[in-house]
Amino acid sequence: MTDRVFHLKKSFSLNYSAFRKGTPPPLRLQFYPYRGLSHTLRVREGVVHLRISDVLTSAPLEVLEAVLGILVYRLFCRKAPSELLQLYSTYIRQPDVQQQLWELRRQRARKFLTGSRGHTYDLAKIFDEVNRKHFGSSVQVSCLSWSRRGSRTVLGHYDDAQGAIVINRLLDRPGVPPIVIEYVLFHEMLHSLMGEKVQNGRRCVHHKSFRDAERRFPGRLGALRLARLCLAQAGARFTL
């Protein structure tokens, strides 16, 4: 066992014992090739499985301990102490870490795409219409695709690492009105144009000027309601 794994296992026991009495369950640690910066802690059959994004493989031990600490707090539905969150976010904001993450997302995201032509809707066709109607055909993206898997939580997203708009495939059904696809595309196209901003000291993608621009979409609230309904019918929760 390497020193780092040994320390992390010890750190896990300490963190765990702060919430629950008795011997902590065994921990299995893995650096995992997630698409982005994800880390998970799951309990299965009495074993705790910790998966840390492989972007952090060479991160300092204290950063890995912070990730572990945050996940244990989350496991017990508690808010992690701000010093742990601060330590982690300071590390991941470093330019070389951001660069590495960017490259990784670019390499790994492709396999999650299926192309723009779905069973019911062709995204390329609707994209062109929305682009002409609302943006004077000024939006350019390098990739437009339905997601490979249906998402329970996301309608669509814009991936700036690869300039791709990806729409939740659960919306590629005859029961989904075209205005829903138009609105979700419009939203993601705005992301591609506006990027993120710092608002109240935090990085924000749905900043004030984004929200102002989004209101230009006619019937936005109705489309949003319909989008919620469509995902609810597909058994999903909703975020955009």
CB of 205 to Zn ion, least distance (A): 6
| Helical segments of the chain, H only | 3-17, 61-75, 82-92, 95-109, 123-135, 178-194, 208-214, 220-233
Count of residues of this chain found to bind Zn ion when the rule CB under 5 A is applied: 1
Q: Is the dihedral of CA 100, 103, 107, 110 positive or negative?
A: positive
Nearest to 205 by CA among 154, 168, 171, 151: 154
Residues in contact with Zn ion, shown as a per-residue x/- string from 181 to 220 under the rule CB under 5 A: ----------------------------------------
- Tell me the closest approach of the beta carbon of residue 229 to Zn ion, in angstroms: 19
Least CB distance to Zn ion at residue 25 (A): 38
Q: With contact defined as beta carbons under 8 Å apart, do 153 and 239 qualify?
A: yes
Enumerate residues 221-240 that contact Zn ion by CB under 5 A.
Answer: 240
To Zn ion, the closest distance from the beta carbon of 207 in angstroms equals 11
Closest by CA to 67, choosing from 85, 54, 83, 79, is 85
Closest to Zn ion by CB, 42 vs 203, is 203
Instruction: Name the residue nearer to Zn ion (CB basis): 64 or 240.
Output: 240
Query: Measured in Å, how far apart are the chain's first and last C-alpha atoms?
Result: 42
Using CB positions, name the residue nearest to Zn ion: 240
- Calculate Rg over the CA atoms of the chain: 21
Q: Which is nearer to Zn ion, 65 or 214 (CB)?
A: 214
Nearer to Zn ion, 59 or 190 (CB): 190
Binding footprint of Zn ion on the chain (CB under 5 A): 240
